[in-house]
Structure 1
Amino acid sequence: MITFFIGDSLTLGCGDEAGLGWPGRLASAMMHHGQDLTWYNLGVRANTTTKIRERWKEEVTRRFLPGQNTRLVFSFGVADISNDVPAKASFDNAEAILSEAKALGPTLFIGPMPVGDQDRTERIIQLSLGFESVCERLGVPHVPVIGFLRESDAYASALEAYDNVHPAAKGYATLAEYLMQTHAAREFLGLD
C-alpha cells in the first residue's frame, strides 16, 4: 500500500522533536499492524489550500506506482486562516482537491487543528465545519478533530511548548492516538 499525507506544516509535523508528526505515527501503526507500506509526507510549511491545489497532484503522480493500493490523506486549513484566505476560496479549493483526489484513489480528510489564539481557533472551527460539508457532499470520509483537541489539556500544553500554532511531540501523539480511535480513520488506514 502507498499512502500519501498531503497538507501544510501541521501535516509536515513542524514542532515535533521526534520528527514524526501525526502522519509518521499513523504510518508506524499501520506497519505494526502488518501492512506492507510505502508512505510519503507531502506537508509543506505555510501551504494554503490554494498552494496545495496547485502542487499536490504533480507530487503524488511522481510517486505513483500503477497497480498499487494507493490512499490519499489530506489535512489543511490553519494556513488559510493565518494567511487570510477567504472562506469561499478555501471551500472551493477543498472541493477541487478532494474531487480530483477521489479519482486517483480512496481519500480521507482530517480536519484542521486548533491554535493557541482563541479568535483564530474560532475562525478555524467555522472553516472545519465548511470542510465537513464539502466532504459530505463529495462522499469523502472525514475526521473533524478540532472539538476533541480544544478539550485536550495535553494538546494545549504541547501548543504552548512550541509556538502556539504547532504542537510539540506530545500534541502530535495526542492527535494520532485520537485518529486511531475513530472508525473512519481506522477503516480507511486498514487498522481494523
Structure 2
Amino acid sequence: MKPVPFEQLPDEELVLLARQNRQAMEVLITRYTGLVWRQVRQYQGNSDAEDLAQEGFLGLISAACRYERIRGVPFSAYAGKCVTNSIVSALRRCRNLPLPVGASDVPPLSQVQDPSRSPDSVVQSRAQTAAMICAMVNRLSRREYQVCMLIYGGASYAQAAQKLHMSVKSVDNALQRARRKLRAAAEDTV
C-alpha cells in the first residue's frame, strides 16, 4: 500500500504527523499561510505586517502542538483562534495596551493600505515569509525540532526533558542552538 502524500491528508491527521515530521509541518504551514495573512490584514494598522505574520506563524505552530482532536473542534477553527491570539498578544506586548482577545483598536488593513506598494510586492512578501518559515523548520536537527515543538507548544523545560528522555540542560542547549539557527535563517532572508 502506497503512503498518502502529506498534501492529501486532512488537517487533523496532518497535525498529528507535523509534531514529529518536519515535512508534514511544512505542508501544514503552507496550507495555513492564507489564514495567517488574513489575520495580519485585520490587525496590521501601524505595526509591521511581517512581524505580525511571524507571530501568526508561531501561533499556528503552537496550535499544531496543542491541538487535541478528541475535543471535537476542527483544527481550522482552533488554528484560527491561536493565530489571532498570537497576533493580538504581540500587539499588546508592543503597545502595552490591555487589548481583549478578538478585539482591536487598530483599523483593518483596507483602511490603512499603503498605496505605494503594488499588489505584486504584497504577494511576493507573503511568499517570502512562508518560505522563510519553512526554511527555518528545515534548518533544525530532529532533536532541536522536537524541543522547539514542545517548548513553543507550552511545555516546560522539565516536561520536554522528561518526554524526550534527556536532561533539562540538554533541552536548554538544543533550544539555544535552534534559536541561533533561526536568527541566522532570518538574517539570510534579509
Indicate the structure (1 or 2) with the bigger Cα radius of gyration: 2
Superposed pair shares fold, TM > 0.5: no
TM-score by length of 2: 0.30
Q: Identify, as 1 or 2, the structure richer in strand.
A: 1
TM-score by length of 1: 0.30
